[in-house]
Amino acid sequence: MKLLRREQYPEIQWKNGRGSARLLAVSPPGAAFDAIDWQVSRPEIARDGPFSTFPGIDRQFMLVDGKGLTLRLRTDPDGPAFERSITNPLEPFAFRGEWDVECLLHEGPVQVFNVMTRRGRAGARLEIVEASAGRPVAKAAGETLLVYVARGPVAAWGRWGKATLAADDAILIDESGAAEIAIAPTDDRAGRLVAVRLHVEDA
């Protein structure tokens, strides 16, 4: 188990150079955009503009903080656009990295949670976990589990020991076998988590 603290996330520049994100985890470690199997990051979007394009990449994207945004998407550069308004925190929206995407902010900057996987090579399943009392979060053999704390603090423990995580911290469990952690709030507010289950196909 690896504890990922928000103050330790490295800053990475967007592929198109129009902003930056905090990198939670990437596979293979240190991989550039054109070589990732998967990547989990926490971008801040501070202005309207186009998203970077990522041919062959599937994206899952959700609002963490802020008033929301509208995505204007084209599946074909010459085809019609459609829009998706994103105003509710932690509601995933999936789209393809090669689509043309324009972002329009509603009322100022937003913080978002972004998961990218290489199509045909890797995949990710996102689960929103409400922790009003102690509950387990299990990892199957062969998958990597990243648990992101959207609302905290929470306590997490397993056979590795116990830790307290603040909002924007995360836990990464990348051992090959099955594993389980328990999560519980540390005060009278329920914790809210994003469990990201990642898998990579054998080459």
pLDDT 10s digit of each residue in the chain, 203 long?
A: 899 999 999 999 999 988 899 999 999 999 999 999 999 999 999 999 999 999 999 999 999 999 999 999 999 888 899 999 999 999 999 999 999 999 999 999 999 999 999 999 999 999 999 888 778 999 999 999 999 999 989 999 988 789 999 999 999 999 889 999 999 998 878 889 999 999 998 75
Q: Looking at 70, 89, 120, which one is the last position of a domain?
A: 120
How far apart (Å, rounded) are the C-alpha atoms in residues 147 and 129?
9
Q: Which residues face 116 on adjacent strands?
A: 39, 59
User: Which parts of the chain are beta strand (E)?
Assistant: 2-4, 11-13, 20-27, 38-45, 49-50, 57-65, 69-74, 82-86, 93-96, 100-105, 110-118, 122-131, 135-139, 144-151, 154-158, 161-165, 170-173, 179-185, 191-200
Q: Looking at 120, 139, 163, which one is the last position of a domain?
A: 120
pLDDT, residue 175, reads 87
Residue 1 located in a structural domain: no
For residue 26, the enclosing domain spans 8-120
How far apart (Å, rounded) are the C-alpha atoms in residues 89 and 136?
23
Nearest Cα to Cα of residue 170 among 154, 187, 186 = 154
Please tell me whether residues 16 and 66 are part of one structural domain.
Answer: yes
Q: Looking at 79, 102, 120, which one is the last position of a domain?
A: 120
Please tell me whether residues 115 and 129 are part of one structural domain.
Answer: no
Please tell me whether residues 139 and 103 are part of one structural domain.
Answer: no
Residue 2 located in a structural domain: no
Q: What is the pTM of this model?
A: 0.94
Please tell me whether residues 14 and 78 are part of one structural domain.
Answer: yes
Q: Is the N-terminal amide bond of 153 cis, ω within 30° of 0?
A: yes
How far apart (Å, rounded) are the C-alpha atoms in residues 76 and 68?
25
The answer to whether the beta carbons of residues 106 and 142 sit under 8 Å apart is: no
Q: Count up the domains in the chain and report the number.
A: 2
- CATH (domain of 96): 2.60.120.10
